[in-house]
Chains A and B, each alone.
Chain A
């Protein structure tokens, strides 16, 4: 059973995400990274189709599994989790990585040919913050027609997955991550038995329902060029809304 996130929702979004997202990735970084190595086909194609010399961002780059798909482009990968950024930095010599927050990006506005944000936006704990995150990504892109972003979020509709959620299930959930012993940090002086009994760590997700990602993109001032469903996730290719002047 997933824990009920509502019990803790008296917390403001920032401390809530600090506890149920940032802190979790800090703890599970090495284990998480060891399970994330295979690029998803749509992401692979998006990156492979870019022109040589294209410069982009990978917001929430995790362990950097997409940084080396196309070495004729340049990517500034970023993640909120320092441990994952360090792992990503070690994975790629051609690309670069920094530690930063999706809502306060140091990447320059309107300078990038493309953006990726894979499995990130669903970690923000209110609709307003998810829209703000998309708007923040769009703000890094060059104008419509010159640049696009690929966004991926976890889907509510995944009745064939082991989670078994489907239409009508709760959309705001805490999902357990069971840290395998190999990756659990045993603190100095802690009796051995304590490190063996590993508790699941809960991560917050907002599960997107059909059409919701597209709706969020429009609210953020973006235009959806293409979208779809792949393996328990909704994805969309988007650009900035052309200015009506």
Chain B
């Protein structure tokens, strides 16, 4: 599971949905791997406004990454329909910052481990990079 995905998931137990402690889920015993994902600045810069940054900082810290405390801002890049260069061009510093985000958000996979709800304590297993959110029948 990607670190990016964790930003869009909370506990599957219905009574936890309204609890602030159910998001983000906390990584435990995480084994990480890096996968190669094509760098896509158009996707990243346009997706960034949709992220819950404080939650991302928390999740990243649990996996050993340090992100800036406040959300970095980038221009929303566009891809011309004629297939030309993505615009506008980023400065060197922004390019480096965006590539770091790409590495953390898109390329980091939690291969094995757990995600734990801060509200009910339920542990969701991650196995072979796939997190399992099926609940036992007494929690449905």
Partner-B contacts on A (CB < 8 A) = 14, 51-55, 71-74, 76, 78, 80, 82, 85-86, 89, 93-94, 96-101, 103-109, 111-113
Contacts and interface: CB of A to CB of B under 8 A. Distances in A.
Given A72-B40, A80-B134, A94 B106 contact: yes
Contacts of B104: none
Contact of A72 (B1, B8, B10, B43): B43
Given A104-B14, A106-B9, A98 B50 contact: no
Contacts of B135: 101, 104
B102 to A, nearest CB: 11
Interface residues of B, number: 43
Given A53-B43, A55-B47, A97 B79 contact: no
B87 interface: no
Given A53-B46, A72-B40, A93-B35, A104 B1 contact: no
Given A53-B50, A108-B23, A98 B131 contact: yes
B128 interface: yes
A86 B42 CA distance: 27
A72 B4 contact: no
B81 interface: no
Contact of A112 (B8, B12, B140): B8
Contacts of A14: 137, 140
B61 interface: no
Interface in B9-26: 9-14, 17, 23
A189 to B, nearest CB: 27
Interface of B: 1-2, 4-5, 8-14, 17, 23, 35-38, 40, 42-50, 76-79, 106, 124, 128-135, 137, 140
Q: Which of B8, B23, B44, B132 has its CB near the most chain A CB atoms (within 10 A)?
A: B8
B4 A98 contact: no
A108 B37 contact: no
A98 B137 CA distance: 19
Contacts of B132: 82, 98-100
A72 B38 CA distance: 11
B4 to A, nearest CB: 7
A104 B138 CA distance: 13
Contacts of A108: 8-10, 23
B130 A85 contact: yes
A105 B17 CA distance: 10
Nearest to A51: B46
Contacts of A51: 46
Contacts of B50: 53, 55, 111, 113
Contacts of B40: 71-72, 94
B76 A99 contact: no
A175 to B, nearest CB: 24
A74 B38 CA distance: 13
A72 B79 contact: yes
30 contacts: A14-B140, A51-B46, A52-B76, A53-B42, A53-B50, A72-B43, A72-B46, A73-B43, A74-B47, A76-B5, A76-B8, A80-B134, A82-B132, A85-B130, A89-B130, A93-B36, A93-B38, A94-B38, A96-B4, A98-B9, A98-B131, A99-B132, A99-B133, A100-B12, A101-B12, A104-B14, A104-B134, A104-B140, A107-B8, A108-B8
Given A52-B78, A86-B128, A106-B9, A101 B42 contact: no
